[in-house]
Amino acid sequence: MGLGREQEVEIRKPPQFMPGERVRATRHVKNDGTYPGKDVGENLVRKGDEGYVRDIGTFLQQFYIYAVEWIDRGTVVGMRARELTSLDDVAASGTAGRAATTDFSERPGL
């Protein structure tokens, strides 16, 4: 009988997305009551919306939370990696989504 808690500690690995990276939502995201000025249950992000990662934080010392600015909506919403796919990879490689983990050895200062 498990607690339904995710076992993987995501922050042991590098983030999947970096600030400035263009992303697309893979799921609808509704307000759970933590987004100010919106009703509980109101749509914050729709599947297919495109935006840019502005910042990276953590939650429960386990997960990365990506602050994504959704340009068409004029909002910034915290998103999990499983709710996003990179569009920068699509433009560079012509494939959908991120095929492998990011290699940080080529990025100075990281």
- State the chain's mean pLDDT as an integer: 82
Residue 70 lies in a domain: yes
- Number of other CB atoms surrounding residue 11 within 10 Å: 15
| Domain boundaries, position 75 | 10-93
38 in Cβ contact with 31 (< 8 Å): yes
Give residue 98's pLDDT.
47
pLDDT at 9 over 80: yes
pTM for this prediction: 0.73
Q: Is the pLDDT of residue 91 over 70?
A: no
What pLDDT, on a 0 to 100 scale, did the predictor assign at position 104? 39
Helix (H, G, I), strand (E, B) or coil at 105: helix
Helix (H, G, I), strand (E, B) or coil at 67: strand
3 domain residue, yes or no: no
Amino acid residing at 18: M
- Judge whether 99 lies within some domain: no
Residue 89 lies in a domain: yes
Domain count, the chain: 1
Residue 109 in domain: no
Could you give the percent of the chain with pLDDT greater than 90? 62
Say which CATH number the domain at 16 has.
Answer: 2.30.30.50
